[in-house]
Amino acid sequence: MLKTISCGDVRAEHTGKTVTLAGWVHRRRDHGGLIFIDMRDREGIVQVVFNPDNAPGGIHAIAESLRNEWVVQVTGTVTARPEGTENPNMPTGEIEVAAEQVKVLNESKTPPFYINEESEVDELIRMKYRFLDLRRQSMRDTIIMRHEVVRFIRDFLSERGFLEVETPILIKSTPEGARDYLVPSRLYPGKFYALPQSPQQLKQLLMAAGVEKYFQIARCFRDEDPRADRQPEHTQLDMEMSFVEEDDVLNLIEELYTKLVETLFPDKWIMRPFPRMTYAEAMASYGTDKPDLRFDLDLVDLSDIAAQTEFRVFTSTVASGGIVKGFSAPGYASLPRRQQDALIDFAKANGALGLVTIALTGEGDVDDLTEEGFRSPAARFLTVEQVKAIAHRAEANMGDMVLIVAGPAKTTNQALSALRNEIGQRLNLADPNLVAFAFITDFPLFEWNEDDGRWDAMHHAFSMPKDGHEAYLDSDPGKVIGRLYDLVANGAELASGSIRIHNRELQERVFGVLGYTKEQVAERFDQLLTAFEYGTPPHGGIAPGIDRLMMVLTGRDNIRDVIAFPKTQSGFDPLFEAPNVVEQYHLDELHITVEAEDSVEVT
Ligand code: ASP
């Protein structure tokens, strides 16, 4: 190699040795005669010093010419830094390398942004020059950590008898509820491959094939509408196991994630065992199936108390089948008026019709509450006893404010969940070092799609109904609970999975509820249904997203920062400028005529 040691690996124990380094000029400082170079490679930075008195002629002139990001090779002697100049903040801070030879391996233009500081840079520029962005320390650390995480997962599962099996990228539609990316076929004019939304059917076929324990670090492609934490292609740890039940899958994931965090993120802590709650419990207590459990602020149902009040908003909501729910915001009783209004706007922006506040402004115990002890826009419709009952249910103390939303269950939960996260954040209730993993189980198998007037699979079409729930498939699909589970952490969904159907007849009934015609079923799922007729074992699996896991573990709030070559939020790649037009001959070969070539602004 062009180096004998990495820059970041030189230590005091190497003092007196001659080393050859190869890397980048991170920074150069001229100190009247002495020239210092911080030299960087993937492992870190070491100080190189050029001393005109000791170094052979000529090399000083080269040292003078060096600029940031030039690639150089330096040979020199490791020496202790003069007393008082050590840098305890650097792993290499006790030593420096006294240069004896230097060779420029490549020059560099002035980069469009600083590599040697973590200053704010426009993200489009960072993405256009991703090869430079990845040189920056925080991105480099993330890429290294991502490798460590994936390696840990591979080792962990291999030790437990899992086989990593690759599945095709050119395949047919594998519905996971998103739009497919299509690839036109040259050899079969007018026909298309679809990129896998996940290897779902393939991993089930591997169970039919007797693989028993499968995993893959799998790329999944979904042509969905842009969202901040989404990418057109994302990476999953895709897994499937035969002869398992829910606990087998969940226990394995819990052990994997616990060991992973303990080994690679020792500064983080987790709650053991991972809390497990049903979908219904999560919706009741947090208004969402992805609760952030780093803080409490549990929601409580106030419908029964609300129904007894004289407050029309409450009574009419309950009478029309809606709910009244809320929670207590600690210390919020004295919130200034303007901020209260902002909270109301926030609730409305998140789907609530309004927000009713009860500020417990008095002193002492809630049991001793008087008319003067609280303030609320609904005060004249509420008796002191009713306010006490609400405060007790919400476990509010004097000084707190109870925030209440009334309306249909769906929008009320949605608004309260957003409010809960907002207050949790404002009050800094989340311990930044806690990764609050939890399992959510027992999801409904189907959800009603208002817009299209049909049942959609809550997760996907392949999940098994819970024992005894098959009967509702025909009579009341909304009541069917599936053998479904999610892993969540800090308010993000990290994985979904289920115990699968492995029987043709049951699978066909589920497709029937979803409104697939016989032809559609035959076209899309024939291979799986056929496999079910040849001794497919009971099986189940899960697919944790690697990108989101990396976000949660590294504390990043931008999914693009944990991916080496991401796309923008609108699915554009500024580095390769993809997607892009292709040459006419290519289209001709594919039998494709492009009608519209509207150019869309890149964002
Ligand atoms: N294929 C599913 C998904 O991508 C995960 C699973 O059920 O294993 O969400």
What are 538-574's pLDDT values in tens digits? 999 999 999 999 999 998 989 999 999 999 998 999 9
- Distance in angstroms (rounded) separating the CA atoms of residues 282 and 276: 9
Q: How far is the CA of 476 from the centre of ligand 1 (A)?
A: 25
Residue nearest to atom 8 of ligand 1 (CA): 542
Ligand 1 atom nearest 238 alpha carbon: 8
Q: Are 504 and 265 a contacting pair, CB within 8 Å?
A: no
Testing ligand 1's pocket by substitution, the residue of 180, 198, 221, 462 carrying the most ligand atoms inside 8 A of its CB is 198
Q: Is 475 helix (H, G, I), strand (E, B) or coil?
A: helix
Closest ligand 1 atom to residue 500 Cα is: 7
From the alpha carbon of 463, which atom of ligand 1 is closest? Answer: 7
Distance of CA 599 to the CA centre of its chain: 31
- C-alpha of residue 233 to centroid of ligand 1, in Å: 14
pLDDT at 45: 97
What span, in angstroms and rounded, lies between the C-alpha atoms of 230 and 332? 34
Classified as helix, coil or strand, 360 is coil
* pLDDT one-digit tens code per residue, 235-269: 999 999 999 999 999 999 999 999 999 999 999 99
Q: 174 CB less than 6 Å from ligand 1?
A: no
Ligand 1 pocket test: pick from 216, 230, 236 the residue with the most ligand atoms within 8 Å of its Cβ: 236
User: Which DSSP helix (H) or strand (E) runs through 415?
Assistant: helix 409-426
10-residue mean pLDDT series, the chain (603 residues): 97 97 97 93 97 83 96 98 94 97 97 94 97 96 97 98 98 83 94 95 98 98 85 96 98 98 97 97 98 97 97 97 97 94 96 96 94 95 97 97 97 98 96 96 95 92 96 95 97 96 97 93 94 98 96 92 95 95 94 75 51
Q: Name which residue sits closest to atom 1 of ligand 1, judged by CA.
A: 200
Residue 176 in contact with ligand 1 by CB distance below 6 A:
yes
Instruction: Give me ligand 1 centre to Cα 360, in Å.
Output: 46
- The rounded distance, in Å, linking the Cα atoms of 372 and 379 is 10
Q: Locate tokens 């002191």: which residue?
A: 384
Output the CA 323–ligand 1 centroid distance in Å.
32
Mutate to test the pocket of ligand 1, among 460, 502, 546 (most ligand atoms within 8 A of CB): 460
Q: What distances in angstroms separate CA 231 from CA 178, 224, 464, 561, 565, one per listed residue?
A: 12, 9, 29, 12, 11
What is the reported pLDDT for 603? 47
Ligand 1 in contact with 496 (CB < 6 A)?
A: yes
**CA 544 to ligand 1 center in whole angstroms:** 8
| pLDDT given at position 344 | 96
Ligand 1 centre distance from Cα of residue 134 (Å): 30
> Ligand 1 in contact with 543 (CB < 6 A)?
yes
**What distances in angstroms separate CA 245 from CA 240, 248, 251, one per listed residue?**
11, 6, 10
CA of 486 to the centre of ligand 1 (A): 10
Atom of ligand 1 nearest to the CA of 497: 7
pLDDT at 225: 85
Q: Is 378 in the pocket of ligand 1 (CB under 6 A)?
A: no
- 563 within ligand 1 shell (Cβ under 6 A): no
Ligand 1 in contact with 497 (CB < 6 A)?
A: yes
Tell me if 491 sits within 8 A of 429, measured CB to CB: no
Q: What is the pLDDT of residue 178?
A: 86
Q: What pLDDT was estimated at residue 56?
A: 73
Taking phi first (over 0 means left), then psi (-120 to 50 degrees means alpha), and beta for anything else, what does residue 407 get? left
Residue nearest to ligand 1 atom 4, measured at CA: 198
Predicted confidence at residue 600, as pLDDT, reads 53
Atom of ligand 1 nearest to the CA of 462: 7
496 Cα–ligand 1 center, Å: 6
Residue 198: CB within 6 Å of ligand 1?
yes
Q: Which of 176, 180, 200 gets mutated to test ligand 1 (max ligand atoms within 8 A of its CB)?
A: 200
Task: Quote the Cα angle for 210-498-525, to 5°.
Answer: 65
Pocket test for ligand 1, best of 167, 174, 176 (most atoms within 8 A of CB): 176
Locate the ligand 1 atom nearest the alpha carbon of residue 459 and give its number.
Answer: 9
| Residue 200, ligand 1, Cβ within 6 A | yes
Pocket test for ligand 1, best of 171, 459, 501 (most atoms within 8 A of CB): 459
Phi/psi for 292 (5° steps) reads -90, 105
Q: How far is the CA of 292 from the centre of ligand 1 (A)?
A: 22
444 CA distance to ligand 1 middle (Å): 16
Distance (angstroms) between ligand 1 centre and the Cα of 243 equals 18
Determine if the peptide bond prior to 196 is cis (ω within 30°).
no
**231 phi-psi bin (left φ>0, alpha ψ -120 to 50, beta other):** beta
Distance of alpha carbon 385 from alpha carbon 372, whole angstroms: 13
What integer pLDDT is reported at residue 545 of this predicted model? 95
- Could you tell me the CA-to-CA distances from 376 to 387, 388, 470 in Å, in that order? 10, 13, 48
SS (H, E, C) 517-546: CHHHHHHHHHHHHHHHCCCCCCEEEECCEH
User: 313-332 burial, b if ≥16 CB within 10 A, otherwise e?
Assistant: bbbebbeeebbbbbbbbbeb
SS3 sequence, 131-166? HHHCCCHHHHHHHHHHHHHHHHHHHHHHHCCCEECC
Cis omega (within 30 of 0) for bond into 232: no
Minimum-distance ligand 1 atom for the alpha carbon of 541: 8
Integer Cα distance of 268 and 433 in angstroms = 5
Residue bearing the CA closest to ligand 1, atom 9: 496
Taking the C-alpha atoms of residue 40 and residue 54, their distance in angstroms, rounded to an integer, is 23
